[in-house]
Structure formats: C-alpha cells, structure tokens
Chains A and B, each alone.
Chain A
Amino acid sequence: KNQVEQSPQSLIILEGKNCTLQCNYTVSPFSNLRWYKQDTGRGPVSLTIMTFSENTKSNGRYTATLDADTKQSSLHITASQLSDSASYICVVSALTGGYNKLIFGAGTRLAVHP
C-alpha cells in the first residue's frame, strides 16, 4: 500500500533556531518527492520537488534531502522565522495508469515562538 509517514507530528521551536522534519515513504512506482508548506485554512504551496536522481535541493532557508535507497527524505529549516509557523507536508508522486497521483503525508505542524 502506498504510504507517506512524517515525524514528528508537531514541533515547537524558538525563533532563529534550526529544525529538521522527517518523511518516510513506501510508494511505487516512485516519480518524485515534494515538500509543501500549508498555512492554516489555506492551500499547500510548493517548497521543493526532487526526482529519483536528486539528493538535495534548496529553496532559500529550506533544504530538502532525498535518499531513494532508504526511501527517506528530510526538510531542514535554517534560522526559523515566526512566518515559518505552518504545516509542512511531504508528498510523493506515483505515476499510476498514465496519471500523476500525489500521496500526501499527514504533515508536521511547526510552531515558531518568539
């Protein structure tokens, strides 16, 4: 069964600190892995997208890693800001029957406190 699991479920950090979010997946056939940021009551916004051959990708203070052998990914946030408070969702894309099916994790809820 295609699954995406994220940890921790929630996280509280102080402004300026770094943090790392984890994602494990069992999805086949794997197409790519994406990290999204979702503010409360809003639609997800893409942060990074990585294909099988990519190990790391950065977007400003966000750096995602992918280990396709162990089927693990991480999202590292550097020098956190109050505006980073949101849910971070790991999404794995499976190319199934000719269409691109996205399988979402439940997300990690990050709260950045002053």
Chain B
Amino acid sequence: GVTQSPTHLIKTRGQQVTLRCSSQSGHNTVSWYQQALGQGPQFIFQYYREEENGRGNFPPRFSGLQFPNDSSELNVNALELDDSALYLCASSFERGANNEQFFGPGTRLTVL
C-alpha cells in the first residue's frame, strides 16, 4: 500500500518541512492533498513520471519531487500557521480519469 512519513510533525512559523510518500509498487502517478480539520482534501499538485503534471491553487512555496523508486516528497517553505493540516498523498497507475487513487494515512503537520 501507500505509506507516508512522518506520522506527525510540529514546526514553527517560517521553517521548512519535507514530507515523504512511498507509492504502491508499479504506480507512476502521485498526487498530494492538504486537508484542513473538518474539511475535504484540497488538491496541491500531481506528478507523473517524475514531472509535475498539474497544480491546484497553492503558492510556489509548495513544491514536490517524484523519484524513480516509487517515492516522492512534498516540500513546504516559509511555513505559515494556516499550513497546519493533514497532508495526504495518493498514487495511481497512470493518469487516466477512471484510475483509482490509493491514499496513504497522511502526515499531520502542526505549525506553531
């Protein structure tokens, strides 16, 4: 399945953070989502074969990387209080609209 690390993380405003995701084996597409408390997930961006393939309404301080070994990263610079949320990654086999996305358990980020 899809795994994420760390499970929980506490940072202070202005710091930088890197969240990691390990996709399901054989999946070449990974998407990242931000889920604020009590809200549905919001799309951050998608990577396909190590290239950014689409982006939601998030500023450039949110960036990502996808590696050939089924792993990927979400980096957030200059953390703000509003960045506190559950960050989810989801992997899928290809980008097809009907392809199932499998979600990881998420990383809970708290910014103080």
Contacts and interface: CB of A to CB of B under 8 A. Distances in A.
Nearest to A46: B100
B10 interface: no
Interface residues of B, number: 31
Interface of B: 2, 31, 33, 38-43, 46, 48, 53-54, 56, 86, 88, 90, 92, 95-106, 108
Contacts of B42: 104
Contacts of B96: 100
A105 B39 CA distance: 8
Given A43-B106, A102-B43, A106-B40, 14 more contacts: A41-B105, A41-B108, A43-B103, A44-B88, A46-B102, A51-B98, A91-B40, A93-B97, A95-B97, A97-B54, A98-B95, A99-B54, A100-B92, A106-B38
Given A31-B97, A32-B98, A101-B54, A43 B2 contact: yes
A49 B31 contact: no
Contact of B104 (A43, A91, A101): A43
B103 A44 contact: yes
Interface of A: 4, 31-32, 41-46, 49, 51, 89, 91, 93, 95-107
A103 B40 CA distance: 9
